[in-house]
């Protein structure tokens, strides 16, 4: 925490030292764990520079070089380093440190999650375990010995294969592990505890047998089956799609309740936030099932994109994350509806990533300057990074993309490389020049595409002119899919345009009338195209484009137009054409899941992103206004759809999930009306699954339903022992659209099940209030902002990473109206005055207040 100096990509240089093997020895103890770290080291060049090892929150007990103890004059210690002069070219360095897992509420390094020990080392957590060259280009072979009480900790796990185990005096035992693949220390993991284990196995395409083991808290055995099935599907998919097989004899996943992120791809030993492992019919929603599968896939895919080929430095994070997100998105698309998945990914991008890219922490997918690395696990690096990989896929086509991936592994297996290395493999294998494309790695901000059309009736030529801009940045290479929709009896024309100039025109021939333009088919690039089209054209796209993304997007555009009008004129009566578009969607021969997406309004944050200095309350009123008008006008039809999609028995195949989604979006419209409140209570009482139950609670929370309290009390009584379900309860409580929210928030903070030390709990209450209760978070009194600041002050000491994620909407204050900007700035300044601020929060506050 003492070092706020930024680090720059431009300053990268190789270490003068390398580490070939690491032998770690852990004697586990809650407050005094002893770590012995023996490293075989080599000095790579003749230099007199000292060896500087990273280390934080460590108590140093001893340092030995080639088994000779050093005296304290032989080395220098600081808050975050250990420096020593070594004149040998090859030597063994042994360092013994003591650490305190129980005190480690930041959940980086070795910490306690309930009764179990576990680790999180990415990005720079290993330095809280031992002094080390904590950077991803230092790759070593790890052997780990873990010693602990046998009764309390029957399972002692680490990376690779188990090589020895045995009993020790006084109830202790040990297990030894060896990981044959050299790796950076961020992929190191250790877990110790008592678990239920779900075991299975997988035979790889080359016939090797892999043991699969999922470790969960005792009693949760039956909630691990979906995760196991997802793992096997992922393994199979990666073999079929990319020819990539798993490489160790065992793959372990451990689910823990205390975890900052979603999960972690440690070699052979993934550690997961339990919410992305545990699922069963009664306690998990359809979205939970989907997420478990996606996160299991993501971590599994990292075994090649991340572990076998890793990052040279943390500025290259998108090398592994953008690519792995792209891979997990392709997997989900193959397992479910590709169109619905694409729509959901684009929603996240537009509502969250675009805002990040327009705010004070905007950065290119390969950042150039970092103060706290944990602040760069962002939507930009992950989601925009995946879009950049997707554009390469689009430009090369699937076959050449696969050839590029093959070459990437052929060239770089076992190495720590850069985004440039990835691009070079892609262009060398495909023959496609990606020189200009590389600007995507260095520009922040969402590019804007301006559109101009003209049609010459005499020559029947249609000319499309596209202009790109992103501040003063050089022109990008942008793949732009278009579909030209013509008269009913003519075939639509679909083309991929490559926009490489600042402005470029294309001419298309053979139309009997001006075609309607469906732009950005499949959302072919992460750009904004503020191109207004008349309602009739949007309706033509909605019904006649072959591209499903564009059909959906046209509907979103139509809705957005009217929300914007309602913002300035709340008395506006929506035109018939809007309703007929809705009716057409409901009657169309398309999947229920797709209909549900089409009926879903653009989110508050997506809309806010497209308005300068928005008054959040006015925007919310406009959203509620359109919901109310649609509900009033289409009530009979929505009710019919609602009833048609009720299912007597629970199933969770794609069809059943789609029907629930459609039914519940109808319910959310209908509960805007006074005379349909009974649907909520009926569905709550008859529900046989968590998706339907939560849908009722969420509708009731938004509409101040008179039975809301009763239902919440009933729900709490039923689920109080299942923390993952209680997280949903806390989130609903935090989203209640009522004045009483502030009193309730105080009560919820004091609830016996609530704790700021548990990230899932903190996010479910505070995160839900901040992100799902815009009316009270942004209320004019400033109480909502103050509530967040009060929690951030506490979280700053407990868990800086969680605090740093929750502050996001406040640092993006420039998107709100002047009054709110002033109010939020004052609150941020108050926070900035805290005596001790974590690097995580300080970096963001400095950027926001600059
Ligand atoms: C993305 C992760 C982290 C941070 C997981 C931590 C990870 C770093 C880790 C997609 C799906 C699931 C989790 C994450 C995510 C933020 C998001 N290496 O595997 O990327
Ligand atoms: Zn990842």
Domain that holds residue 595: 535-676
Q: Is residue 709 part of a domain?
A: no
Q: Tell whether 62 is covered by a domain.
A: yes
Question: If you take atom 7 of ligand 1, which residue's CA is the nearest one?
Answer: 264
| Residue of 263, 305, 317, 802 to mutate, ligand 1, most atoms within 8 A of C-beta | 263
**Is the CB of 317 within 6 Å of ligand 1?**
no
Query: From atom 12 of ligand 1, which residue's Cα is the shortest distance away?
Result: 295
CB 708 within 8 A of CB 742: no
Which atom from ligand 1 is nearest to the alpha carbon of 321? 20
Q: What is the pLDDT, as a whole number, of residue 490?
A: 84
Question: Do 108 and 29 sit in the same domain of this protein?
Answer: yes
Do 653 and 547 fall into the same domain? yes
**Domain assignment of residue 767, yes or no:** no
Same domain, 82 and 39: yes
pLDDT in tens, 206-220: 999 999 999 999 999
Distance 424 CA to ligand 1 centre (A): 25
The distance of Cα 750 from the centroid of its chain, to the nearest Å, equals: 29
Note whether 735 and 697 are within 8 A (CB).
no
Q: Is 297 in the pocket of ligand 1 (CB under 6 A)?
A: no
Is 746 a member of any domain? no
Q: Which of 389, 407, 441 is a domain's end point?
A: 441
Query: What one-character-per-residue DSSP string does 663-719 give?
Result: HHHHHHHHTTSGGGHHHHHHHHHH--SHHHHHHHHHHHHHTT-TTHHHHHHHHHHHH
Question: What is the side-by-side order of every strand in the sheet holding 75-78?
Answer: 51-54, 81-84, 75-78
Residue with CA closest to ligand 1 atom 19: 264
> Using a 6 Å cutoff on CB, does residue 262 contact ligand 1?
yes
Rounded to a whole number of angstroms, the distance between the first and last alpha carbons of the chain is 21
Q: What are phi and psi of 207, to 5 degrees?
A: 90, 10
| Statement to judge: residues 668 and 554 lie in one domain | yes
Q: Do 543 and 514 lie in a common domain?
A: no
Residues 181 and 227 in one domain: no
Answer yes or no: is the C-beta of 108 below 6 A from any ligand 1 atom: no
Q: How far apart are CA 542 and CA 801, in angstroms?
A: 42
Q: Which residues are catalytic?
A: 299
Q: How far is it, in rounded angstroms, from Cα 229 to Cα 234?
A: 9
Same domain, 221 and 368: no
Residue 98 burial by Cβ neighbours in a 10 Å radius (0-12, 13-18, 19+):
middle
382 lines ligand 1 (CB under 6 A): yes
Which pLDDT tens digit goes with each residue over 562-616?
Answer: 999 999 999 999 999 999 998 999 999 999 999 999 999 999 999 999 999 999 9
The answer, yes or no, to whether any atom of ligand 1 lies below 6 A from the CB of 298, is yes
Same domain, 630 and 582: yes
**Where does 500-544 show beta strands of DSSP type E?**
503-509, 516-519
Tell me, what's the pLDDT at 1?
Answer: 39
Please classify residue 528 by burial: count the beta carbons closer than 10 Å to its beta carbon, then call 0-12 exposed, 13-18 middle and 19+ buried.
middle
Angle between helices 317-335 and 225-242 (to 10 degrees): 100
Q: What is the C-alpha separation between 523 and 80, in angstroms, rounded?
A: 45
Q: Are residues 638 and 553 in the same domain?
A: yes
pLDDT < 70: residue spans in the chain: 1-2
Ligand 1 centroid – CA 749 distance (Å): 28
Residue with tokens 């199979």: 236
* CATH number of 498's domain: 2.60.40.1840
CATH number for the domain that contains residue 640: 1.25.50.10
Where residue 377 sits, what CATH number does that domain have?
1.10.390.10
d(CA 444, CA 254): 36
711 lies in some domain: no
Closest ligand to C-alpha of residue 320 is 2
Strands in 130-183 per DSSP E? 140-149, 155-158, 161-167, 172-183
666-688 pLDDT, tens digit each? 999 999 999 999 999 999 999 99
Last residue of one domain, picked from the residues 506, 525, 544: 525
Cβ 256 vs Cβ 116: under 8 Å: yes
Q: What is the pLDDT of residue 133?
A: 98
Are 661 and 653 spatial neighbours (Cβ–Cβ below 8 Å)? no
Domain boundary among 142, 177, 193: 193
Same domain for 103 and 21 = yes
455 and 435 in a common domain: no
Residue 170 covered by a domain:
yes
How many domains would you assign to the chain? 5
CB of 843 shorter than 6 A to ligand 1: no
Q: Which numbered ligand comes closest to the C-alpha of 332?
A: 1
Q: Is residue 163 part of a domain?
A: yes
| Domain of residue 217, CATH code | 3.30.2010.30
Determine the distance separating the centroid of ligand 2 and the alpha carbon of 326, expressed in angstroms. Answer: 10
CA 416 to chain centre: 23
Q: What per-residue confidence (pLDDT) applies to 636? A: 97
- The pTM (predicted TM-score) of the whole model is 0.99
Name residue 216's beta-bridge partners. Answer: 196
Whether residues 556 and 590 fall in one domain:
yes
Q: Is residue 774 part of a domain?
A: no
């Amino acid at each position: 925490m003492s070092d706020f100096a930024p680090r720059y990509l431009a300053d990268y240089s190789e270490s003068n030292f390398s580490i070939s093997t690491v032998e770690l020895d852990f004697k586990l103890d809650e407050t005094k764990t002893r770590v012995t770290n023996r490293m075989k080291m080599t000095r790579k060049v003749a230099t007199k520079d000292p060896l500087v090892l990273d280390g934080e929150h460590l108590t140093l007990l001893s340092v030995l070089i080639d088994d000779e103890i050093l005296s304290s004059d032989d080395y220098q210690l600081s808050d975050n380093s250990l420096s020593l002069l070594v004149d040998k070219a090859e030597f063994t360095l042994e360092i013994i440190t003591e650490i305190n897992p129980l005190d480690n509420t930041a959940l980086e390094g070795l910490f306690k999650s309930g009764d179990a020990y576990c680790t999180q080392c990415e990005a720079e957590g290993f330095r809280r375990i031992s002094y080390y060259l904590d950077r991803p280009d230092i790759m070593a072979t790890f052997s780990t010995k873990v010693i602990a009480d046998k009764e309390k900790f029957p399972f002692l796990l680490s990376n690779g294969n188990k090589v020895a185990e045995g009993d020790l005096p006084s109830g202790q035992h040990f297990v030894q592990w060896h990981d044959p693949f050299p790796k950076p220390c961020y992929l190191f993991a250790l877990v110790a505890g008592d678990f239920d284990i779900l075991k299975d196995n997988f035979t790889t395409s080359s016939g090797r047998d892999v043991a699969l083991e999922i470790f969960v808290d005792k009693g949760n055995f039956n909630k691990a089956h979906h995760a196991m099935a997802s793992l096997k599907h992922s393994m199979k998919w990666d073999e079929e799609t990319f020819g990539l097989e798993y490489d160790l004899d065992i793959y372990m996943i451990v689910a823990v309740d205390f975890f900052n992120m979603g999960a972690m791809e440690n070699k052979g030993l993934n550690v997961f936030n339990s919410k992305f492992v545990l699922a069963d019919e009664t306690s998990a929603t359809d979205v939970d099932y989907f997420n478990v599968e996606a996160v299991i896939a993501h971590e599994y895919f990292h075994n090649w994109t991340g572990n076998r080929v890793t990052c040279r430095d943390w500025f290259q994070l998108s090398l592994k994350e953008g690519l792995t997100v792209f891979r997990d998105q392709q997997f989900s698309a193959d397992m479910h509806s590709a169109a619905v998945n694409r729509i959901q990914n684009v929603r996240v991008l537009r509502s969250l990533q675009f805002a990040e890219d327009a705010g004070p922490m905007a950065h290119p997918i390969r950042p150039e300057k970092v103060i706290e690395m944990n602040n760069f696990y962002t939507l930009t690096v992950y989601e925009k990074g995946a879009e950049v990989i997707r554009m390469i896929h689009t430009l090369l086509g699937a076959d050449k993309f696969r050839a590029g991936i093959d070459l990437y592994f052929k060239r770089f297996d076992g190495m720590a490389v850069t985004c440039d290395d990835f691009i070079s493999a892609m262009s060398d294998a495909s023959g496609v020049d990606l020189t200009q494309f590389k600007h995507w790695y260095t520009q922040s901000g969402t590019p804007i595409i301006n559109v101009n059309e003209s049609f010459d009736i005499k020559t029947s030529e249609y000319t499309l002119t596209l202009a790109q801009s992103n501040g003063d940045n050089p022109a990008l290479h942008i793949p732009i899919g278009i579909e030209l929709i013509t008269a009913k009896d003519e075939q639509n024309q679909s083309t991929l345009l490559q926009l490489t100039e600042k402005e470029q025109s294309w001419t298309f021939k053979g139309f009997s009338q001006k075609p309607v333009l469906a732009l950005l088919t499949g959302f072919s690039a992460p750009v904004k195209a503020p191109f207004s089209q008349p309602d009739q054209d949007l309706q033509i796209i909605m019904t006649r484009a072959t591209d499903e993304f564009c059909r959906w997007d046209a509907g979103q555009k139509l809705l957005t137009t009217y929300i914007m009008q309602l913002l300035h004129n709340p008395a506006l009566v929506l035109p018939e054409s809007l309703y007929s578009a809705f009716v057409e969607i409901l009657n169309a021969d398309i999947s229920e899941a797709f209909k549900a997406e089409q009926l879903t309004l653009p989110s508050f944050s997506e809309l806010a992103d497209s308005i300068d200095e928005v008054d959040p309350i006015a925007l919310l009123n406009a959203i509620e206004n359109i919901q109310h008008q649609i509900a009033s006008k289409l009530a009979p039809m929505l009710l019919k759809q609602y009833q048609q999609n009720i299912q007597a028995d629970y199933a969770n195949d794609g069809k059943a999930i789609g029907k629930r989604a459609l039914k519940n979006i109808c319910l959310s419209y209908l509960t805007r009306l006074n005379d349909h409140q009974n649907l909520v209570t009926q569905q709550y009482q008859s529900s046989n699954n968590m998706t339907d139950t939560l849908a009722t609670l969420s509708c009731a929370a938004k509409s101040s339903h008179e039975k809301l309290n009763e239902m919440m009390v009933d729900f709490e009584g039923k689920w109080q022992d299942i923390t993952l379900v209680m997280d949903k309860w806390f989130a609903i409580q935090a989203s209640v659209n009522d004045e009483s929210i502030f009193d309730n928030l105080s009560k919820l903070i004091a609830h016996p099940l609530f704790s700021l030390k548990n990230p899932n709990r903190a996010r479910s209450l505070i995160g839900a209030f901040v992100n799902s209760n815009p009316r009270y978070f942004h209320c004019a009194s400033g109480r909502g902002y103050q509530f967040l600041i009060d929690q951030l002050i506490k979280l700053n000491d407990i868990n800086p990473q969680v605090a740093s994620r929750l502050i996001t909407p406040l640092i993006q204050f420039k998107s709100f109206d002047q009054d709110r900007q002033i109010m939020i700035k004052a609150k941020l300044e108050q926070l900035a005055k805290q005596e001790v601020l974590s690097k995580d929060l300080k970096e963001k506050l400095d950027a926001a207040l600059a």
